[in-house]
Amino acid sequence: MKLIGMFDSPFVRRVAISMLRLDLPFEHANWSVGADFDRIRAYSPLGRVPALVLEDGAVLVESGAILDYLDDRVGPARALVPASGAARRLVLQVIAQAIGAAEKGRDIIYEGVWRPPEKRHEPWVERVRGQMHGALGELEKAAGKVSDQTWLAGSRLTQADITVACVFTFLADSVDVAKDSRSYPALERLVARCEALQEFVATRRPWFRPSAGG
């Protein structure tokens, strides 16, 4: 399989980490949505990453749909999202908050990258920043229930932990979460534990700001 997109994207990175944890080998196409837009669109006309090219040439887009396919491929015993019940609901809700926060962070970045300065609208950026912190506050509550021996959904690391860690690291690197005098100590502790794991270390990259000019 070929995974298209750079690892500084939390959407791409959560797929890469999941594939490493699930022992699913892949080739990495380290392509930028700025400079490599045409190359990406040759595989996915939407022009968004991640895109996962399967062995038969089919191309999957949208990280949630890709991860669902990977879970289905390895079966329920190894899947990173629990198959049913309260654990499934918790994991999916935590992921939804984290992805919401990541999308708000991405929107803040794109306001600066794709719009010329005279067209940027600061009140909108502030609103989006507030939404991002709203979601991070919910994640802080969830992380507050985790001990040093457990993960967000109990004794086993799940997609909730992977996604939360990818998103928090991305936001800390790219939109300086700390500058708004909000603190997330429980999240920071959980994310530090995740970032110490080998799959996270193998996919950690410095933040690469996309450029509209390519």
Ligand X SMILES: N[C@@H](CCC(=O)N[C@@H](CS)C(=O)NCC(=O)O)C(=O)O
Binding site for ligand X (CB under 6 A): 9, 11, 33, 47-50, 62-64, 106
Angle separating helix axes 85-114 and 122-144, nearest 10 degrees:
150
Which residue, 47 or 154, is less far from ligand X as judged by CB?
Answer: 47
Token pair in block for residue 56: 């038969």
Which residue, 210, 142, 212, 133, is CA-closest to 176? Answer: 133
Q: Is residue 153 classed as helix, strand or coil in its secondary structure? A: coil
Q: Which of 162, 156, 171 is nearest to 76 (CA)?
A: 156
Cis before 50 (ω within 30)? yes
DSSP state of 158: -
Nearer to ligand X, 36 or 146 (CB): 36
Least distance CB 62 / ligand X (angstroms): 5
> How far is CA 122 from its chain centroid?
25
Q: Residue 21 or residue 106: which is nearer to ligand X going by CB?
A: 106
Nearer to ligand X by Cβ, of 45 and 130: the residue is: 45
Closest CA to 143 of 166, 160, 130, 167: 160
Q: Decide if 172 contacts 182 (C-beta within 8 A).
A: no
Measured from the CB of residue 106, what is the shortest distance to ligand X in angstroms?
A: 5
How near is the Cβ of 12 to ligand X at its closest, in Å?
7
Q: How far is the CB of 208 from ligand X (least distance, A)?
A: 10
Contact 59, 42 (CB under 8 A): no
CB of 148 to ligand X, least distance (A): 30
Comparison of 105 and 146: residue with beta carbon closer to ligand X? 105
